Amino acid sequence: MPEVEITATENGPLKVTGPLTLTDVDGNVYDLSERGKAVYLCRCGGSTNKPFCDGTHSKTAFEAAERAVAEADSA
């Protein structure tokens, strides 16, 4: 079975691939059939087509913290 993969892009959206269902707050399912193999979800808050990225992040100089941070030693 294929897995869902979520990848943070450089100062941009989250790229989501794999078998997924995207549902809004009211329980309505988004039609993803026209979006190909990947869905790009806005994480800058500026898209006029939320939850999808519309490229606004590149106009607003959005800076994301896309690097995973290792947990500090607890000892």
Q: Give the residues lining the site for ligand FES (CB under 6 A).
A: 12-13, 42-44, 46-47, 53-57
> Which C-beta is closer to ligand FES: that of 39 or that of 43?
43
Secondary structure (H, E, C), 28-72: CECCCCCCCCEEEECCCCCCCCCCECCCHHHCCCCCCCCCCCCCC
Give every strand in the sheet of 38-41, ordered side by side: 5-8, 14-17, 38-41
Tell me how far, at minimum, the Cβ of 32 lies from ligand FES, in Å.
Answer: 17
> Which C-beta is closer to ligand FES: that of 67 or that of 75?
67
Tell me how far, at minimum, the Cβ of 34 lies from ligand FES, in Å.
Answer: 18
